[in-house]
Structure 1
């Protein structure tokens, strides 16, 4: 059963502060929607988590994402509508690993339990720039890690809705099998590459976990998406890496401009292997409407470009 809706008073206090800080008005009403759907509500910080959670939840929970399709998650700024929506949720899921820099202040505004779905993941540290020493937050880019996300969701959902705990466990196991299949296909597809060409060169350093678990060396232009990106030194470093290792193809993410990487292509003769998806799913009619679509798409794009094969 959904827990009693609460924190109304807290939200009433928090909303005026957010309205003033954000210069917004008139959207304090909850976006939960009305009707007879009385399932517990699970709110996630971004669309990838929402899709994974929905696969575990099945029809027993209503899962929604705070951010929308195509949103840049790193610097997202919650709106008054987000806070009102969160106040009526029964559980909030966040990635953790410092991904949602806005999340701490956000959850202080509502009295709703939350679970960090990356708990148990062995973090990889960022090694460059202002973020050096902090954990790389993109743990969901490894199908191996997402199996841990699923375990955490199964436990959280069973606590939220004990009557359907067995279904959550069954759904989770089936989804984990699909994730492992993607991982196995990625490793097998890359197995014939020469050692020096087993490299993944991208715009953002968002593939550390995928690279580790697939036996690839990671190289990127900048470590984490920021307002100012692609210094001449960063582009030069990427060019030198591609040339030294005879890397056949390079890539860029969907939420940033690929112009810096095109400079690497022009300087090295490497192919532009394609656009990879990381921080957001696409619309339903797009190339990656689900997380399994996203990780399969990325894995196939990487294998095809590095090995010279075609889908």
Structure 2
């Protein structure tokens, strides 16, 4: 037999049960977004455009960093191990990466130059090895975008449709920049179509736009701006009557400024290759990098930019 207190508790429970059943089900705990790490800022920007808000993307290197001989920190190892995916360029660009990645555990990885036929480096200790700067060609950047889409879709199949739509939109933007660059660089007369830079990082760009390439050193390394390299470039600039010379933003431009002085050319300014700039700089995104470079090249070679 139950007492009055027990009967009251049972009655209250029976009255509350319909109200509890009418409450909406609690949502399942939201799944944390996947984390992707890219080896440098250009790749991170490309990946973010494909990922949109579905994936968190970050760069191991900061804006303005030189990528070839980057020295990974212990924190970089931690970040890579914590990531769900690491994106890297390959073709020997990140010479530090294989050693670094061996310490990053079993993190998934993707090489973004997969499927690209490389241009070989013409001289120096890396002769005949792939020139790694394939992203400097907007046409080949489309291969990067597709490789990013595939890697993200395999990582996060639930958002594959989003990645495909973002990749299509971003590829259209790259094609539009490419068309504008072709139109603007076509204005260069035949005798001013030599792109002289510090590093041989523009092989893919010069091939795309019908320019000739000259450089102080073939790839950033410990041998940069030697007397022999400077003398050879001075001779090239004089012989070809190159009106302006350039240097990459992440290396010392002093050797190229010496070339300009001694060869009677202008120093045309900095070009962006291995790194984006901070948001307030001229190349905070990959698309802006391409546009900024085309503008500097055009102004320098047409003589509409005063030497600095």
Shift of 1:228: 3.1
In the alignment, is residue 251 of structure 1 matched against residue 260 of structure 2?
Answer: no
TM-score normalised per structure 1: 0.85
Q: Residue 174 of structure 2 corresponds to which residue in structure 1?
A: 179
Q: Is the 8 A contact 2:244 2:267 kept in 1?
A: yes
Q: Is the 8 A contact 1:249 1:305 kept in 2?
A: yes
Pick from 119, 133, 137: which aligns with 2:114?
Answer: 119
Pick from 158, 161, 165: which aligns with 1:163?
Answer: 158
**1:171, 1:307 → 2: CA distance?**
37
Shift of 1:223: 0.9
Pick from 74, 77, 80: which aligns with 1:80?
Answer: 74
**1:73, 1:37 → 2: CA distance?**
33
**2:142, 2:92 → 1: CA distance?**
20
Q: Residue 207 of structure 1 corresponds to which residue in structure 2?
A: 202
Q: Residue 96 of structure 1 corresponds to which residue in structure 2?
A: 90
**1:184, 1:246 → 2: CA distance?**
28
Shift of 1:139: 1.0
Shift of 1:268: 2.1
**Higher mean C-alpha displacement, 197-206 vs 103-112:** 103-112
In the alignment, is residue 67 of structure 1 matched against residue 33 of structure 2?
Answer: no
Q: Deviations over 1:114-167 (max 9, x none)?
A: 000011222011111111111111111111111110000011111111121111
Q: Residue 290 of structure 1 corresponds to which residue in structure 2?
A: 285
Pick from 102, 107, 120: which aligns with 1:108?
Answer: 102
Q: Is the 8 A contact 1:235 1:260 kept in 2?
A: yes
Structure 2: where are the runs of 5+ without partners?
A: 1-29
Shift of 1:44: 0.5
**1:161, 1:190 → 2: CA distance?**
40
Shift of 1:196: 3.3
In the alignment, is residue 129 of structure 1 matched against residue 124 of structure 2?
Answer: yes
Q: Residue 8 of structure 2 corresponds to which residue in structure 1?
A: none
Shift of 1:275: 0.7
Pick from 50, 57, 62: which aligns with 1:56?
Answer: 50
Q: Is the 8 A contact 1:190 1:307 kept in 2?
A: no
Give every structure 1 segment of 4 or more consecutive aligned residues whose post-TM-superposition deviation is greater than 3 Å: none
Shift of 1:263: 1.5
Q: Is the 8 A contact 2:188 2:298 kept in 1?
A: no
Shift of 1:37: 8.0
**1:242, 1:309 → 2: CA distance?**
19
Give the secondary-structure state (helix, strand or coil) at the position aligned to 2:283: coil
Q: Residue 260 of structure 1 corresponds to which residue in structure 2?
A: 255
Q: Residue 148 of structure 1 corresponds to which residue in structure 2?
A: 143
**1:123, 1:95 → 2: CA distance?**
12
**1:70, 1:225 → 2: CA distance?**
15
In the alignment, is residue 44 of structure 1 matched against residue 1 of structure 2?
Answer: no
- Counterparts of 1:214-233 in structure 2, within 5 Å, are 214-233=209-228
TM-score normalised per structure 2: 0.86
Shift of 1:285: 1.7
Shift of 1:308: 3.2
Shift of 1:75: 0.9
Q: Deviations over 1:256-309 (max 9, x none)?
A: 111111111112222211111111111122221111111110111112221234
In the alignment, is residue 234 of structure 1 matched against residue 229 of structure 2?
Answer: yes
Considering only aligned residues, what root-mean-square deviation do their CA atoms show, in Å? 1.5
| Length, aligned pairs only | 275
Q: Which has the larger radius of gyration?
A: 2
**1:63, 1:114 → 2: CA distance?**
14
